[in-house]
Amino acid sequence: MKRIKDHNEQLGYFTFVQNNETTDYLKLAYACGLSLKATQGINKFAIAVDEATKECLEDKHYKVFDYVVDIPWGDESKEDSWKLGNEWKAWAITPFKETVKIDCDLVFTRNIDHWWTFMREQEVLIATNVRKLDGSIATSRKYRKVFDENELPNAYSGFMYFRYGEESLKLFKTLKWVYKNWNTVTENIKNCRDSKPTTDVALAIALVLQEQEYTATNSVLDYPTFVHLKPSILQWPEQHKVEDVVNISYSDSVGLLIGVEPQLYPVHGAECKEYLADKTIEYYERT
């Protein structure tokens, strides 16, 4: 796997944005970009898009997206409703020498520029825990049974740092192989019910195959991490969505509030991603 072109800048955030029939992921990425520009000093933002999503771009989007990258080598998710198939291409197309790859439904709440100092000590660093609304580490394993049953590293691809180098290249080559050989790979994974690659599981398998589950993912500090708005992670009944239980609002003095909790970490929208995006866009376009 080769780079598509030379890097444009040293540091930045990168995400894939592909709309589908049910979700406007471009809106989510726009909300992410607004929050990124407003809260971070290191705030360069690149998105990778397919042709259909690119046609939806407006002037307001280009004000928060510093780079719009065409997804190369065909769209691996063209026939999928949940478009995850291109994730392995990130290493080859990011415009940054050092990249934090995020999910596009992430919203930034506080300045985390200091995270880069620690992340840069390794060539790859991946979030291995997520948090509840009060900032405490989530302990629910409801969505991680395949990880526990197969002793996979607890990787969360929603926040992943990597810099250009041999180690990161090797990981993404391995990740590509996992994506391309998913049916064969999952024959050896107990109770894997994913008919197509899902990002966290595929990344965890790639780490195991590369024998880097410790050097690549373990952190002596409590970051990188993010708040994850899935009901069971928040220790709520599965049928409860965040917006049905607590109010999501913004305050000029506090920032993002979910219920009565000020959010100190980036927040992953999950099941309420569109509601969170709407609130975020409303606030930052007003301010």
What domains, with CATH codes, occur in the chain? 9-227 (3.90.550)
CA pair distance 128, 226, nearest whole angstrom: 10
| DSSP for 181-241, written as a single string | THHHHGGGSTT---SS--HHHHHHHHHHHTT-TTTTT--SSS-S--EE--TTTTT--TT--
CA pair distance 107, 113, nearest whole angstrom: 15
* Per-residue pLDDT in tens (0 to 9) along the chain, 287 residues: 899 999 999 999 999 999 999 999 999 999 999 999 999 999 999 999 999 999 999 999 999 999 999 999 999 999 888 899 999 999 999 999 999 999 999 999 999 999 999 999 999 999 999 999 999 999 999 989 999 999 999 999 999 999 999 999 999 999 999 999 999 999 999 989 899 999 999 999 999 998 765 555 556 678 999 999 998 898 888 777 788 888 999 999 999 999 999 999 999 998 889 999 999 999 999 98
Contact in structure between 127 and 225 (CB atoms under 8 Å)? yes
CA pair distance 156, 127, nearest whole angstrom: 5
Contact in structure between 29 and 69 (CB atoms under 8 Å)? no
What sign for the dihedral angle of Cα 77, 83, 87, 89? positive
Q: Give me 107's structure tokens.
A: 């919203």
CA pair distance 175, 215, nearest whole angstrom: 17
